[in-house]
């Protein structure tokens, strides 16, 4: 029996192998993805993002438990903001699987930035396809920060929950951080702390003053205390409400098709990059070229144009 | 007299025009960059990064004043973390030019994320080339956050100052945020606040426990109070020390050459991607392709491979 057969039968070890294969971009990994892709399409992708220390991991665990209780299979991807230089998660994330069922209805994987430009968003997206075809009803994606890559990752989700804490600062700061535009739902976690009411109120006011578009989703602000699992049920309900709203309005399908278009273009871009680097390797003296430019005997723009002419017949 | 002539004569309005031309990627902007590139190479690029609210803008102003006092010409680029959806800086950054000389020895420009993947890092790098050839001795680049794009931007600098505040949390959090590996110099700003001594000490300890490599730069931790311009002179000295160290050890040149290699590859990637997207437009029914995949009659990986074969002869 092949790994893929065992994967389709729900073998968790086969799942791990398929993910590693995709993560490490082994030979023909895209063919493998193409095959599993056709069995996918049922999983709901929920993204949680926000500043470090907002308690996203705890909330993800709460949401996972809530969905498991609804008899749903849940897969988690935690995208670790570790720098591209260390190449791995610093904190022992395996700890986080403690207390969850080991019968294949729950799976956790953390992923760290690995240097390759654009690689992390693409890899995360590919792993969601694997999760989906494995049969997870819910995929929870957790990211930190508001950089472009984090936005790319969160844009692959059907629902985006932005998690803040009372310490997150006033709403101008929030808007500056670019979180306002990506949130479908706001969650103010650690809501038992001072200043919680204030930030909840400020966020609601800021959301109220935005231009109202008819029949648009009204972004809710949910206070929670993840560590005591308080009000997280409300968060689940709001997520489900949002999904219903999106499906009824046709936005769910439209959004997924837009994502698909981006995905195809990204895969193409990646393939082209691979081809270029390969062809560049064939050139005799790239080092000499660099030295010349460094001494201002040339410039990178002209050199790139010349190389472009050479690599594209 | 052409804009470029006036640019070379030091006309600030011509500088603004050239930057806009490069930022907006008008026709043949890379040819223009190629021309100005050959006059560049003298400017030192100093990057400041750190969490929102760390007081980076204030520190950048302090550094700018210090360098101006040394009779150096200073250009500032503030990369705004505004989301790709709003497309502009929220806070009136023009205010920041107040009190600075208007004789061409100082220039400030803020840039916001503009949607294009990888675009912001490339554009920032291109603008540093323009600054450099205009004659700025010092280019100060300010970014927020620790995403991949921010790292790409900061990697184009000769010196990286990571700015933290007493509230930044313990050093594990700092390491998780990936700041530890990119810093040449740490600055703990707002050092008059509670907990400042503790974070300075923790950082120093964390740096001390790292593996020591012979003749390597010892990363300093400098407490400052930017708003009162306290101890910022020390920061300037450490920046200058670091540059001397890099130049003497040959690392300065090596680093710049590595950056050059990346730059050429990035320009190439951009050009090829542009060509592909153009060719994709020639295909009859991209929408139909998307619909088929959405209904799982195909998959994006196979489709991308087929398209790749078509666009690359």
Q: Which domain holds residue B134?
A: 41-249
Band the pLDDT of B238: cuts 50, 70, 90: very high
Phi, psi of B183 (to 5 degrees): -75, 130
CATH number, domain at A151? 3.40.50.300
Phi, psi of B126 (to 5 degrees): -65, -40
Same-domain status, B137 and B275: no
For A301, the closest of B34, B272, B308 (CB atoms) is B34
A277: nearest CA partner in chain B: B265
For B148, the closest of A113, A275, A298 (CB atoms) is A113
Q: Does A83 touch chain B (CB under 8 A)?
A: yes
For B53, the closest of A173, A290, A305 (CB atoms) is A173
**pLDDT (mean) for B120-127:** 87
User: What's the structural domain count of chain B?
Assistant: 2
Band the pLDDT of B10: cuts 50, 70, 90: very high
Same-domain status, A72 and A121: yes
pLDDT given for residue B249 in this prediction: 94
The least confident of A35-39, A168-172, B52-56 is A168-172
Greater confidence, A194 or B211? A194
In a domain, B35, yes or no: no
Same-domain status, B285 and B189: no
Residues 93-122 of B with CB under 8 A from A: 113, 117-118, 120
Query: Rounded to 5, what percent of chain B is helix, strand, coil?
Result: 55, 15, 35
Q: What is the pLDDT of residues A129-182, one digit of tens each?
A: 999 999 999 999 998 765 566 777 888 899 999 998 888 766 556 555 567 778
Which residue, among A83, A114, A311, would best test binding to B if mutated, counting the most B CBs under 10 Å from its CB? Answer: A83
Same-domain status, A75 and A150: yes
> Residue B17 pLDDT more than 60?
yes
Greater confidence, A92 or A277? A277
Q: What percent of chain B has pLDDT over 70?
A: 84
Q: Using CA atoms in the order B34, B40, B45, B51, what is the torsion angle rounded to 10 degrees?
A: -30
Question: DSSP secondary-structure letter at B103?
Answer: S
Same-domain status, B245 and B287: no
Greater confidence, A135 or A91? A135
**pLDDT (mean) for B48-68:** 90
Q: What is the pLDDT of residues A214-233, one digit of tens each?
A: 778 999 999 999 999 999 99
The least confident of A7-11, A248-252, B163-167 is B163-167
In a domain, B34, yes or no: no
In a domain, B29, yes or no: no
CA distance A146 to chain B (A): 7
> Residue A40 pLDDT more than 50?
yes
> Residue A202 pLDDT more than 50?
yes
User: If you average pLDDT over each of A98-102, B81-85, B237-241, which comes out highest?
Assistant: B237-241
pLDDT given for residue A177 in this prediction: 58
Q: Residue B99 burial by CB count (10 A; 0-12/13-18/19+): exposed, middle or buried?
A: exposed
> Residue A196 pLDDT more than 70?
yes
CA distance A173 to chain B (A): 8
> Residue A84 pLDDT more than 80?
no
**pLDDT (mean) for B142-170:** 79
Same-domain status, A139 and A277: no
Q: What's the farthest any 2 CA atoms get from each other in chain B?
A: 67
Q: What percent of chain A has pLDDT over 90?
A: 44
pLDDT given for residue A92 in this prediction: 45
The radius of gyration computed from the CA coordinates of chain B, to the nearest angstrom, equals 22
pTM of the model: 0.69
pLDDT given for residue A45 in this prediction: 97
Give the ipTM of the model, two decimals please: 0.80
Beta-carbon separation of B37 and A269 below 8 A: no
Strand ranges, E, within A192-312: 221-223
For B147, the closest of A148, A172, A294 (CB atoms) is A148
The interaxial angle of helices B286-294 and B300-311, nearest 10 deg, is 160
Same-domain status, A178 and A69: yes
For B113, the closest of A148, A172, A304 (CB atoms) is A148
Beta-carbon separation of B299 and A265 below 8 A: no
Same-domain status, B138 and B224: yes
Same-domain status, A218 and A287: no
Band the pLDDT of B181: cuts 50, 70, 90: confident
Q: Residue B72 burial by CB count (10 A; 0-12/13-18/19+): exposed, middle or buried?
A: middle
Beta-carbon separation of B83 and A181 below 8 A: yes
- First CA to last CA distance, chain A: 44
* Rounded-to-integer distance, Cα B221 and Cα B227, Å: 18
Same-domain status, A168 and A219: yes
Greater confidence, A35 or A147? A35
Q: What is the average pLDDT value for chain B, to the nearest integer?
A: 84
> Residue A268 pLDDT more than 90?
no
Could you tell me which of A167, A126, A159, A160 has the C-alpha nearest to residue A146? Answer: A160
Q: Does A27 touch chain B (CB under 8 A)?
A: no
* Rounded-to-integer distance, Cα B18 and Cα B39, Å: 15
Q: Does A283 touch chain B (CB under 8 A)?
A: no
Beta-carbon separation of B86 and A181 below 8 A: yes
What number of C-beta contacts closer than 8 Å exist between A and B?
230
Q: Residue A285 burial by CB count (10 A; 0-12/13-18/19+): exposed, middle or buried?
A: exposed
The least confident of A43-57, A164-178, A297-311, B69-83 is A164-178
Beta-carbon separation of A147 and B152 below 8 A: no
In a domain, A13, yes or no: no
Q: Are strands A159-164 and A138-144 parallel, antiparallel or unpaired?
A: unpaired
Beta-carbon separation of B147 and A146 below 8 A: yes
pLDDT given for residue A176 in this prediction: 55
Beta-carbon separation of B145 and A149 below 8 A: no
Q: Does A30 touch chain B (CB under 8 A)?
A: yes
* Rounded-to-integer distance, Cα B162 and Cα A135, Å: 44
Tell me how far CA of residue B127 lies from CA of B40, B105, B134, B218, in angstroms: 11, 16, 10, 31
Could you tell me which of B151, B27, B128, B148 has the C-alpha nearest to residue B77? Answer: B128
Band the pLDDT of B170: cuts 50, 70, 90: low
In a domain, B6, yes or no: no
H/E/C letters for each residue in B19-61? HHHHHCCCCCHHHHHHHHHCCCCCCEEEEEEECCCCCHHHHHH
In a domain, A31, yes or no: no
Contact between A78 and B113 (Cβ < 8 Å): no
Greater confidence, A167 or A243? A243
Q: Does A206 touch chain B (CB under 8 A)?
A: no
* Rounded-to-integer distance, Cα B200 and Cα A4, Å: 52
Beta-carbon separation of A307 and B264 below 8 A: yes
Band the pLDDT of B113: cuts 50, 70, 90: low
Same-domain status, A81 and A119: yes
Q: How many other C-beta atoms lie within 10 A of the C-beta of residue B156?
A: 20
In a domain, A120, yes or no: yes
> Residue B74 pLDDT more than 50?
yes
pLDDT given for residue A104 in this prediction: 87
Q: E strand or H helix at B98, and its extent? A: none
User: If you average pLDDT over each of B19-28, B32-41, B85-94, B113-122, which comes out highest?
Assistant: B32-41
pLDDT given for residue B169 in this prediction: 66
> Residue A80 pLDDT more than 70?
no
* Rounded-to-integer distance, Cα B148 and Cα B176, Å: 14
The least confident of A32-41, B18-27, B205-214 is B205-214
* Rounded-to-integer distance, Cα A59 and Cα A226, Å: 5
* Rounded-to-integer distance, Cα A110 and Cα A77, Å: 6
Beta-carbon separation of A145 and B149 below 8 A: no
Residues 261-280 of A with CB under 8 A from B: 261, 263-265, 267-269, 271-273, 275-277, 280
Q: Tell me the three state secondary structure of residue A43.
A: coil
**pLDDT (mean) for B103-121:** 72
> Residue A250 pLDDT more than 60?
yes
Q: What is the pLDDT of residues A106-130, one digit of tens each?
A: 999 888 755 443 477 888 999 999 9
Band the pLDDT of B60: cuts 50, 70, 90: very high
Q: What is the average pLDDT value for chain A, to the nearest integer?
A: 84
Same-domain status, B274 and B244: no
Cα B6 from chain centre: 27
Which residue, among B49, B56, B83, B294, would best test binding to A if mutated, counting the most A CBs under 10 Å from its CB? Answer: B83
In a domain, A283, yes or no: yes
> Residue B166 pLDDT more than 50?
yes
What count of residues does chain B have?
A: 313
Q: What is the pLDDT of residues B258-292, one digit of tens each?
A: 999 888 888 887 777 777 777 777 765 778 888 89
The least confident of A5-19, A47-61, B56-70 is A47-61
């Amino acid at each position: 029996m092949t790994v893929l057969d065992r994967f389709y039968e729900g073998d968790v070890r086969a799942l791990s192998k398929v993910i590693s294969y995709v993560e490490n971009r082994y030979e023909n990994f895209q063919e493998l993805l193409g095959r599993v892709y056709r069995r996918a399409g049922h999983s709901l992708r929920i993204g949680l993002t926000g500043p470090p220390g907002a308690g996203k991991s705890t909330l993800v665990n709460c949401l996972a438990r809530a969905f498991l209780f609804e008899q749903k299979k849940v897969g988690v991807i935690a995208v670790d903001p570790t720098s591209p230089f260390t190449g791995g998660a610093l904190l022992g994330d395996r700890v986080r699987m403690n207390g969850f069922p080991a019968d294949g209805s729950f799976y956790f994987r953390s992923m760290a930035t690995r240097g390759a430009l654009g690689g992390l968003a693409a890899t995360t997206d590919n792993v969601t396809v694997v999760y989906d075809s494995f049969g997870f009803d819910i995929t929870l994606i957790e990211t930190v920060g508001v950089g472009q890559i984090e936005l790319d990752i969160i844009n692959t989700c059907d629902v985006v929950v932005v998690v803040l804490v009372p310490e997150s600062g006033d709403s101008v700061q929030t808007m500056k951080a670019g979180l306002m535009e990506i949130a479908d739902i706001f969650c103010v976690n650690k809501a038992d702390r001072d200043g919680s009411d204030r930030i909840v109120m400020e966020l609601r006011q800021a959301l109220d003053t935005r231009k109202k578009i008819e029949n648009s989703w009204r972004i809710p602000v949910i206070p929670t205390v993840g560590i005591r699992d308080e009000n997280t049920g409300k968060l689940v309900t709001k997520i489900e409400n949002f999904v219903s709203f999106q499906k009824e309005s046709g936005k769910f399908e439209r959004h997924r098709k837009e994502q698909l278009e981006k995905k195809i273009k990204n895969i193409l871009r990646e393939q082209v990059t691979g081809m270029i680097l390969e062809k560049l390797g064939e050139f005799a003296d790239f080092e000499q070229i660099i030295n010349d430019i460094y001494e201002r005997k040339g410039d990178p723009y002209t050199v790139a144009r010349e190389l472009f002419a050479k690599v594209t017949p």
